[in-house]
Amino acid sequence: MSWCPNCYTEYMDSKKMCSDCKVELQNEIEIEIERYEFVEMDYVYTAASDIEANMFTELFETNGIQTMKKYREAGGYLSVYMGETSFGIDLFVDKEKRSLAIEILKPLELESIEEDTKTEKSSSWLKKIFIIFCVILFLLL
């Protein structure tokens, strides 16, 4: 299936030009990339783990917000070995829908901030234990 990059009309594969716009048709994938590049992305949140990043990405995407994950330095490498990254994963969303993304995040973020202040002392220990546990699990498998 081909698409007109100008009016987004769908054409059969045999067609090469859009009959309305007189422009060359493109395949679906190429148009998706062009649209993606056109969208201005803005930073919204830093996820602590891959699981969290995926959870928010899914949450945003189901609300029609285009989301992009950006691993911090060495994060991608670490996540392969430990299932999490200590560097965090920055989430970027469609600039125009950033306020909507924040509305979705707000109740969730407040909860985690409250929790952090209470368990601040033990959280670093828990993290260490969790990493050790992951390493043991990795070795057993």
Q: Is 1 helix (H, G, I), strand (E, B) or coil?
A: coil
Is 6 a binder of Zn ion (CB under 5 A)? Answer: yes
Contacts (CB under 5 A) with Zn ion, residues 103-132: none
Please list the helix, strand and coil fractions of the chain in percent, rounded to the nearest 5, in that order: 55, 20, 25
> Does position 91 bind Zn ion by CB under 5 A?
no
Which residues lie closer than 8 Å to 73 by C-beta, 6 or more apart?
87
Instruction: Note whether 21 binds Zn ion by CB under 5 A.
Output: yes
Question: Could you say which DSSP state residue 15 is in?
Answer: -
In the set 18, 47, 65, 91, which binds Zn ion (CB under 5 A)?
Answer: 18
* Burial of 15 (C-beta count, 10 Å sphere; 0-12/13-18/19+): middle
Does 20 contact Zn ion by CB under 5 A?
yes
What is the chain's alpha carbon radius of gyration, rounded to the nearest angstrom?
21
Q: Any contact of residue 26 with Zn ion (CB under 5 A)?
A: no
Beta carbon of residue 37, minimum distance to Zn ion (angstroms, whole number): 20
25 is an interface residue for Zn ion by CB under 5 A: no
Residue with Cβ nearer Zn ion (3 or 56)? 3
Q: Which residues bind Zn ion (CB under 5 A)?
A: 4, 6-7, 9, 18, 20-21
